[in-house]
Structure 1
Amino acid sequence: MTGSITISAEDLRARLGEPGLILVDTRDAADWQAATIPGAVRLDVYGYFVPASDAAGHADLERATWAGLSAIGATEATTVVFFEAKTGMVSPRGLWFHRFAGLDGGLILDGGFDAWVAAGGPVAPGTGAEGAIARGAGEPAPPAPRRDLLAGIDEVVNLPAGGVVLDVRRPTEHTGSFVHPCCARAGRIPGSVLLFYEDLLVDGHYRPAEEIAARARAVGLTPETPVVVYCHRGARAATALFGLRLAGFAEEGRVFVGSWHEWAERCDLPADSGSGQDTAG
């Protein structure tokens, strides 16, 4: 994952109307329809759950990704900017899908639509193309998917020595005191290290790189540490992964796309709960 990750509202204003620029509103349809950046299309990137971390599940993920991005006109020749109300758990997932599809030129609008409005950017009702990353999409798949950006259960279980499984959920999810109604059990992947994704954000923006780096080092990460990031469904994990990348960490980072939702369903896999290890090493 090389190149830029975010763009400011001011810089985006200067590029508005640029040929090949696609603005992607990842908010709910009603919000997009009410007011958005002029010309923005809408893409649902949040609802997708990978069926399973196996060949069939990853094939579904590839087809779903390509179908959703194709619906909004994304190609190798376009620059796609994803945004939500404030930078949170949705627009970075859009960028992760974009890069997983093997496309370059994707960006996150740092601060989201709120930052755009605060910067004096124009707004208009949302009309036009809509799409979704959704299960069951037909052929084709991306011509060159970036499988190095995802991890399945096998990659988590067989993580090389020195690698870290990073849990970016809330502390209550990590300890198991909170359980999602859709999950078979509460807890965490044994040995996983906690770094809450919201600690990499402030006021709807990514924190400065040096602040993110300090938080990464505080839990034992180095820029060279191989990292597999997980959350509940793979959305918050993308936010954390790109935050770490902004600070020069997780160059080889992967998102465990099934995340805790899939791990919890597999009762043959171990789980820890309660307070425990919170740093790598």
Structure 2
Amino acid sequence: MPTYSTLINRHALEALLREGPAPAVFDCSFDLADPEKGEIAYAQGHLPSAQYLHLGRDLSGPKTGHNGRHPLPDREVLAARLRELGLQRGQQVVVYDAQGGMFAARAWWLLRWLGHSAVAVLDGGLPAWQAAGLALPSTPTPGDFVSAEALVASIDRVALLESVRHQGPWVIVDARAADRFRGENETLDARGGHIPGARNRFFRGNLAEDGLFKPAAVLRDEFKALLGDTDARQSVQQCGSGVTACHNLLALEIAGMRGASLYPGSWSEWSSDPDAPIETAL
């Protein structure tokens, strides 16, 4: 059987669930304005054998007030949680949500961060699955998953700050909507605007009108136009709190442009520092 490491479509997932080997399926649906809404929706119906991963409890670590709204979880704590939910070493993982991959991409990146490459986002998510029906939750058996060395490195905030001050080699890409990037309609974070020199790539631009990811060639052309002569490995992907930036990281991977870094604290960390410079103009 093939290994899926970026996207998996509904038909391929159906075949895996029907014929095996059985994948580990995780529902990552979430609502930033109502943190319990995703879990409630999961309880009402979800993909067969799916377990739920909560953005705040599972896919983020404790907040200190200075490390952003969704800091990275502790590696071993997340690995233990995945073992608890039944994940086996080398097992194919499929993650999905009902928000166009907004939160599933965060889980995709975190699994790769833990050294697990066999992880894919269900293209189209829950809406694309509706015709296949829903199932009740099942109780998982403990797995043997352990954390391995990170495949994708995060970038230190100090390095970002120095890059901004001295026009270093990094290209910073912000996945937030254009209005928040401009400093308008900022209701979530301490200050409005963006990191000086950042370029804007709203994560929903990775999706076609049908809610599926754009073809790899289209994504590649769009990101090359955004990055110019800069290699993807010299790009830092950020957003509001390190969640939707993973959507851009997934899109880059689909496009064959590997090695970009995530700034986990993102704008929520950057803007909490009154001395950090900001811009509001495009």
The TM-score with structure 2 as length reference comes to 0.81
Q: What's the CA shift string for 1:123-143, capped at 9, x where partnerless?
A: 21234359xxxxxxxxxx964
Distance 1:87 1:145, change over 3 A: farther
Q: 2:40 aligns with which of 10, 15, 30?
A: 30
RMSD: 2.7
CA distance in 2, matches of 1:177, 1:44: 29
Contact 2:8 2:120 in 1 (8 A): yes
Matched residues in 2 for 1:81 and 1:245: separation?
Answer: 16
SS of residue paired to 2:53: strand
SS of the counterpart of 2:227?
A: coil
Helix, strand or coil at the partner of 1:166 = strand
**CA, structure 1 residues 42+129, in 2 after alignment: closer, same or farther (shift >3 Å)?**
farther
**What residue is the counterpart of 1:279 in the other structure?**
none
Matched, 1:248 2:256: yes
Q: Could you tell me how far apart the structure 1 residues matched to 2:150 and 2:200 are? A: 26
1:169, 1:195 within 8 Å by CA — same for their partners in 2?
A: yes
Residues in 2 aligned to 1:77 and 1:158: alpha-carbon distance in whole angstroms: 38
CA gap 1:127/1:76 in 2 versus in 1, 3 angstroms:
closer
Which residue, 203, 215, 218 being the options, matches 1:211?
Answer: 218
The runs of at least 4 aligned residues of structure 1 exceeding 3 Å deviation read 49-53, 158-162, 220-223
* Equivalent of residue 240 in structure 2, options 232, 237, 240: 232
Identity, % of aligned positions: 25
- Change in Cα spacing, 1:216 to 1:23, as seen in structure 2 (3 Å) is same
Q: 1:10, 1:93 → 2: CA distance?
A: 23
Q: Which runs of 5+ in 1 are unaligned?
A: 131-140, 277-281
Structure 1, 38-47 or 193-202: larger mean CA deviation: 38-47
Read off the aligned partner of 1:12 and give its amino acid letter: L
Distance 1:50 1:253 in 2: 25
Q: Give the residue type in structure 2 aligned to 1:110.
A: D
Letter in 2 for 1:152: D
Count of paired positions: 257
Higher strand share: 1
Select 2:49's aligned residue among 36, 39, 42. 39
Deviation at 1:178, TM superposition (A): 2.1
> Displacement, 1:148?
3.6
The farther-off stretch of 196-205 and 220-229 is: 220-229
Counterpart amino acid of 2:235?
Answer: V
1:211-243 deviation per Cα after TM superposition (whole angstroms, max 9, x unaligned): 212321332345723110100111110001111
CA gap of 1:109–1:74, structure 2 versus 1, over 3 A, is same
Q: 2:47–2:135: 8 Å Cα contact kept in structure 1?
A: yes
Report the AA paired with residue 7 of structure 1: I
Q: Any conservation in 2 of the 1:82–1:95 contact (CA below 8 Å)?
A: yes
Q: Which runs of 5+ in 2 are unaligned?
A: 30-37
Which of 255, 266, 273 aligns to 1:259? It is: 266
Q: Does 1:111 align with 2:111?
A: no
Is residue 5–residue 117 contact of structure 2 (8 Å, CA) maintained in 1? no
Provide the C-alpha distance between the structure 2 equivalents of 1:4 and 1:65, rounded to a whole number of angstroms.
19
Task: Tell me if the contact between 2:240 and 2:266 (Cα under 8 Å) persists in the aligned partners.
Answer: yes
Q: Check the 8 A contact 1:151/1:228 in 2, yes or no.
A: yes
Q: How does 1:121-270 map to 2 (within 5 A)?
A: 121-129=132-140, 143-146=147-150, 148-159=152-163, 161-181=168-188, 183-202=189-208, 203-222=210-229, 224-225=231-232, 226-249=234-257, 251-270=258-277
Check whether the contact 1:99–1:146 (CA below 8 A) recurs between aligned residues: yes
1:152-199 per-position Cα deviation (integer Å, ceiling 9, x unaligned): 312322459432010111111111112133x22111101111111111
